[in-house]
Structure 1
Amino acid sequence: MVWVILILAIVSALAFVRLAPSDPARWNAPIGSAENTDGEGWSARVVPATPGLLSDLHQAMVALPRTELLTGSVGAGRLTYITRSKWMGFPDYTTIEQDGEQIKLYARLRFGKSDLGVNGKRLDGLLKSAGVKRAEG
């Protein structure tokens, strides 16, 4: 009986991770001050804005596996995406925002504490695919 309860608890937790609604207002908030850094479960990058860069980053982002646009648009200057891990479906949220002469990127996990560096790698790969060299910061 204990095994049945344990299995049901695990299945319920996994279902919650996959099916929990994502509030666009919560995840598409302005980034605020940012710098090129990585934290526990999150990463941020800031690069100079160039013509068309926000659109290029959007195209690169939606081309990533298991990634979809949650809300926002290039015209609005802020976009937020959900990227899910391959096996467990854990959601990571990435916001890309044009703030004057800067493009700010902020990627973070929703559940847990550590992203094992995947958010920083995703941001660096995104910038590389758009032809932007990451400035150390």
Structure 2
Amino acid sequence: MSGKVFYVLSTLIAFVLAFGVFIRFNPVDAGAYHRQVAFTGNSQGTNSFGVEIPAGTDPQAMFERAALMIADAPRTRPLAGDPAKGHVSFVTRSRVWGFPDVTNLWLSGGSLFLHGQAVFGQSDLGVNRARLTGWRQALAQGG
């Protein structure tokens, strides 16, 4: 391998690794992402997805089940909020690169709202829709 090719490949690998470290370890600003996004029903954005779920006869119990289920999801950690106040946020990171998505969970008017949003990029490639739809189905089945 010539010196120039080695230099180009080494530089490219260094940039890819630096990008990966930046994405994986860049903190998520709770002030920017711990919020309630106004929508009704299902809401699809380019880098987000939201679902509204009727909370049934015991909204607080459903909220607590949902918060526990989300907290137990792989690669997920709490970001902000207090379950006693009816609004919590979580960060879920992708498996390989660690891209962060923020999920907000809150109660309002007898409904449970879930809103997932990618922190980086113009598209989440449908990841939040799949994740939130799965959680909605699990809650409907008593999960």
Task: Give the TM-score band, short-chain normalised.
Answer: 0.7 to 0.9
Q: Secondary structure at the match of 2:84?
A: coil
Q: Is the 8 A contact 1:31 1:104 kept in 2?
A: no
Displacement after TM superposition at 1:32 (Å): 2.5
Give 1 or 2 for the bigger CA radius of gyration.
Answer: 2
2:34 pairs with 1:28: yes
1:120 matched to 2:126? The reply is: no
Paired position in structure 2 for 1:11: 17
The structure with the largest helix share of the pair is 2
Take 1:49 and 1:26, find their aligned partners in 2: how far apart are those partners? 27
**TM-score of the aligned structures, taking structure 1 as reference length:** 0.88
Match of 2:75 among 42, 66, 77: 66
Residue identity matched to 1:58: A
Superposed, which structure 2 residues align to 1:52-131 within 5 Å?
Answer: 52-131=61-140
Q: How many residues align?
A: 133
Identity, % of aligned positions = 29
Q: RMSD value over aligned CA atoms?
A: 1.7
Gaps of 5+ in 1: 133-137
State how far apart, in whole Å, the 1-side matches of 2:135 and 2:35 are.
20
Amino acid at match of 1:76: K
Partner of residue 41 from structure 1, selected from 44, 47, 60: 47
C-alpha contact 2:39 2:50 (8 A) present in aligned 1: no
- The Cα shift of 1:116 comes to 2.1
Cα drift, residue 119 of structure 1 = 0.6
